[in-house]
Structure 1
Amino acid sequence: MSLPCALYIVPTPIGNLGDMSPRAIEVLSGVSLVACEDTRHSGKLLSHFGIATRTTALHDHNERARAQWIVDKLAAGEAVALISDAGTPLISDPGYHLVSHVRQAGFQVIPLPGPCAAITALSASGLPSDRFSFEGFLPAKEKARLDKLQELKEDPRTLIFYESPHRICYSLEAIVQVLGAERQLVMAREVSKTFETFLSGTAAEVCAIVAADANQQKGEIVLMCHGHSSGDEEAIPAKALDTLKLLCDELPLKKAAALAAQIHGLKKNALYKYGLEQDW
């Protein structure tokens, strides 16, 4: 089945092939061309699902030059799909320049929902997920890595990083040094794969576990750090928390927090943040 002319952004499994959606298979089978980060890697995936669509390489080194060629394909009425080696394209993967070029040329870009290691790991981390910042990979060089963490030190959002096996210990040590040994951290490794593991604790605790276990230094890794805390949560009186809980039985959290703050003379943001972290 041929598809309407457009660039389709198609997520692929980050590990478990059972996460490939029927829609993703339908689109990859129906387009005229699939742009892949690595045609050999993606060829195995496409073959597994019986997809025989022609492929072309699109990666960091050729993306800018390849973008106009793909626009020409769209101009000729062809439908094109973009995939990365795993997960959702453009998330720490190539595709930004292509999508921008395609949109500027006036063609439609259609995204499919699907696997993303950062979001999947966050959902199981137990860290606040109402506000977060995805930072991709930390810099490879030590000074740049420390400088980047220093910039993020007082960010109140949950921080999410990708990391490679050969740099994981260096990055954990940098997090301990800059964000602090007591900063709460969760390390997700090999998400959706056979050896999936989640390590949680203080940054110092997780760093020590990983340093002592070579198996924890393998595979695809997502690091998640609790955001900076001003300490306001710890100062909330128990009576105010009781009031907030009672109000939440009848009101939305935002209104309940504002009212509880007014009653007890407190900051509504602190109460709201506390409420978000509860399972009432």
Structure 2
Amino acid sequence: MTQALKPTLYIVATPIGNLNDITLRAIDTLKQVEFIAAEDTRHTRRLLSQFEIETSVISFHDYSSEESARKLLERIVNGENCALVSDAGTPLISDPGYRLVSLAPEYGVTVSPIPGACALIAGLSAAGLPSDRFCFEGFLPAKPLQRQKRLASLAGEERTLVFYEAPHRIEALLADMKMEFGEQREVVLGRELTKTFETITRGTLAELVDFTAADANQRRGEFVVMVAGEQAVKLFDDKVKETFALLNEELPPKKAAKIAAQIHGVNAKDIYQWSLTKNS
């Protein structure tokens, strides 16, 4: 690791499951900083032991006070470079650290990212959903009414939606999504990514609700839930909709969508997906 020219706070990504996903640069950084600020010191010490890293570790988490953050930054200003880590993945991505990083410029402390594993990106890369534009919502509210309200506000979002969820709420989340987004909306469920029992399951919300209800094993572990964006009605003008409706009176939806697409020069899959949403 090159010696920093200024006091530096390193934001170090750690594995989300498979320990081999740690980067060489992360190991080098964790060995050479003066101390490590960790979400859970016991968890982090197990990781450090695996890679024979003997750097001292202090606790820093969501409940740490602003005073604790300032004391940590003062240590950096006084010449002790620090690495911030969370329990898994990239710090600040639905993990602690925002307060610390936001205060760093006040102290003249450089913030340097050491990139690596991130459940959000790992899940999205394997989902097969559009990823040129996406919307990360992290963990939704635990209370049902608040969660449903948030989902209702996202129902018309055209970008791929990405959520994190814990095992004890996954069934409720999928049921609320089915209610707010429609049962035919496409969803990909990434469970225990990079771990021994990793599963990536694709289907409609109706199918995934039934799938998780039928198998208790599919309700265990940590989840990345990725939902296809709404097929916006504005993609099609009234003539396209009218043509599809007339054809659909005599033909199955897929056939009607194919012919309507040929007539108007639009995508048949988009028309078909729109029709499913309309009828859900």
Classify 1:42/1:152 alpha carbon distance in 2 versus 1 (closer, same or farther; 3 Å). same
Q: d(CA) in 1 for partners of 2:44 and 2:53? A: 11
2:82 paired residue among 80, 93, 96: 80
Partner SS for 2:230:
coil
The runs of 4+ residues in structure 1 deviating greater than 3 Å are: 233-242
Shift of 1:3: 4.0
- Partner Cα separation in structure 1 for residue 47 and residue 263 of structure 2: 55
Is the CA contact (8 Å cut-off) linking 2:39 and 2:59 kept in structure 1?
yes
Say if 1:3 and 1:30, in contact at 8 Å, map to a contact too: no
Distance 1:33 1:48 in 2: 17
**Pairing 1:226–2:228 present:** yes
CA distance in 2, matches of 1:238, 1:39: 63
**Given that residues 158 and 224 in structure 1 are in contact (C-alpha distance below 8 angstroms), is that contact kept between their aligned partners in structure 2?**
yes
Give the Cα separation in 1 of the matches to 2:80 and 2:213: 51
Give the TM-score taking structure 1 as reference length. Answer: 0.83
Output the CA distance in 2 between the equivalents of 1:40 and 1:2: 28
> What is residue 189 of structure 2 aligned with on the other side?
187
CA contact (8 A) 1:3 1:79 kept: no
Question: CA separation in 2, counterparts of 1:47 and 1:120?
Answer: 25
- The corresponding residue for 1:207 is 209
Q: CA deviation at 1:61?
A: 0.9
Task: Give the residue type in structure 2 aligned to 1:220.
Answer: E
Cα distance, 1:138 vs structure 2: 1.2
User: How far 1:65 sits from its partner (Å)?
Assistant: 2.8
The runs of 5 or more residues in structure 1 that have no matched partner are 243-269, 271-280
**Is it true that 1:15 corresponds to 2:17 in the alignment?**
yes
Corresponding residue number in structure 1 for 2:147: 145
Question: Normalising to structure 2: TM-score of the pair?
Answer: 0.83
Deviation string 1:65-117 (CA, Å, 9 cap, x unpaired) is 32101111111011100000000000000000000011232210000111000
Letter of the 1:148 partner, please give it.
R
What amino acid maps onto 2:39 in structure 1? E
Identity %: 49
Q: In the aligned structure 2, how far is the partner of 1:237 from the partner of 1:229? A: 19
The AA in structure 2 aligned to 1:153 is: A
Contact 2:77 2:107 in 1 (8 A): no
**In structure 2, C-alpha distance between the alignment counterparts of 1:63 and 1:95, rounded to whole Å:** 11
Q: d(CA) in 1 for partners of 2:185 and 2:85?
A: 35
Comparing 224-233 with 206-215, greater Cα deviation is found at 224-233
Equivalenced residue count is: 243
Q: 1:27 to 1:149 in 2, by over 3 A?
A: same
CA–CA distance in 2 between the matches of 1:64 and 1:213? 44
1 CA distance for matches of 2:185 and 2:164?
Answer: 18
Find the partner of 2:96 among 72, 87, 94. 94
User: 1: distance between equivalents of 2:12 and 2:232?
Assistant: 40
Following the alignment from structure 2 to structure 1, what is the Cα–Cα distance between the partners of residues 58 and 222? 25
Is there any run of 5+ residues in structure 2 with no aligned partner, and where?
Answer: 237-256, 271-280
State the Cα distance separating 1:240 from its structure 2 match.
4.4
